Amino acid sequence: MTTLFDPLRIGNIELRNRIIMAPMTRSRANDEGIQPAFAAEYYSQRASAGLIVTEATNISPMAKGYVRTPGIYTPEQIESWRPIPEAVHAQGGKIFLQVFHTGRIALPDFLPEHTQPVAPSAVRGAAAPSPPDESTIRSRSRPVSSPGRASSVWLPLARASAAPLAAVAR
């Protein structure tokens, strides 16, 4: 009989057991979205799970909806992440980064120049204080969602130290 502690293959990734740590926002990054050094210790302490999914991580300045959440779109943010997969891999664990954009429920309080979030239509989200700005040709020139950019910044890190992460970033 298969148990929770048996290995599992997902695509080309071999997990040593079937325990997957759910993504959990920790709000321990600084206001620039940079992870503290102790985040590597926190994640490596949980590396005996088959797979860790990290806390939600903003892919652009317009993605942020929660205070002190980390980002993955500036060189400083990337550097602050680098020790984390390294520490998990050193314990034989696997880790995926959860990429995140809060879309129309992003909070102006956290956005550059307190601008309104942008969405395909000006429809207010249930938890949002106001409707987002409707996306227009003009608004698309603002730094809205930029998944291509997140991939391009995350992939060098994935190549360097965390092959499974590339699967998520693609």
Ligand X SMILES: Cc1cc2nc3c(=O)[nH]c(=O)nc-3n(C[C@H](O)[C@H](O)[C@H](O)COP(=O)(O)O)c2cc1C
The residue ranges that bind ligand X (CB under 6 A) are 22-25, 55-56, 98
Residue 13: in which H helix or E strand, if any? strand 13-15
Instruction: Return the number of the residue (1 or 22) whose C-beta is nearest ligand X.
Output: 22
Q: How far is the CB of 66 from ligand X (least distance, A)?
A: 8
Provide the 3-class DSSP secondary structure of residue 97.
strand
Instruction: Return the number of the residue (56 or 162) whose C-beta is nearest ligand X.
Output: 56
Question: In terms of C-beta distances under 8 Å and separation of at least 24 residues, what long-range contacts does 117-124 make, across chains too?
Answer: 117/62, 118/62, 118/142, 118/144
Instruction: Return the number of the residue (29 or 157) whose C-beta is nearest ligand X.
Output: 29
Bridge partners, residue 100, by sequence: 58
Instruction: Return the number of the residue (96 or 144) whose C-beta is nearest ligand X.
Output: 96
Pairing status of strand 118-119 against strand 133-134: parallel
